[in-house]
Amino acid sequence: MGATRQRTPVSLTMDLKEYLEFQNREIERHKWIESEKAGRDLGLDAAIDWILKYADAFSDEYICQGDCRNEKQC
């Protein structure tokens, strides 16, 4: 059987500042899209919506891409 890859915290596998900046851009994009749909600024409500709906998947994908870049297997 193949070895299972142990996941490490984002701060250990890649630049935390880069991760947070990218995450913030995604949250701002979501806020803009949802506010446009609603016809008003949803602000913090849209940010919380993004966190509840997408934060886990975003982190998983970002970590996966970071692992791939570090190991040069992609």
pLDDT for res 58:
93
The reply to whether 39 falls in a domain is: yes
The reply to whether 1 falls in a domain is: no
The reply to whether 5 falls in a domain is: no
Domain that holds residue 56: 15-71
pLDDT for res 57:
93
Read out DSSP for 5-50? PPP--HHHHS-HHHHHHHHHHHHHHHHHHHHHHHTS--THHHHHHH
The domain tally of the chain equals 1
Terminal CA-to-CA distance of the chain, rounded, Å? 21
pTM: 0.69
- pLDDT for 47 beyond 80: yes
- Calculate mean pLDDT across residues 53-69: 82
Report which of residues 4 and 29 the model is more confident about. Answer: 29
- pLDDT for 1 beyond 90: no
The reply to whether 7 falls in a domain is: no
Lowest average pLDDT, out of 6-15, 18-27, 37-46, goes to 6-15
The reply to whether 33 falls in a domain is: yes
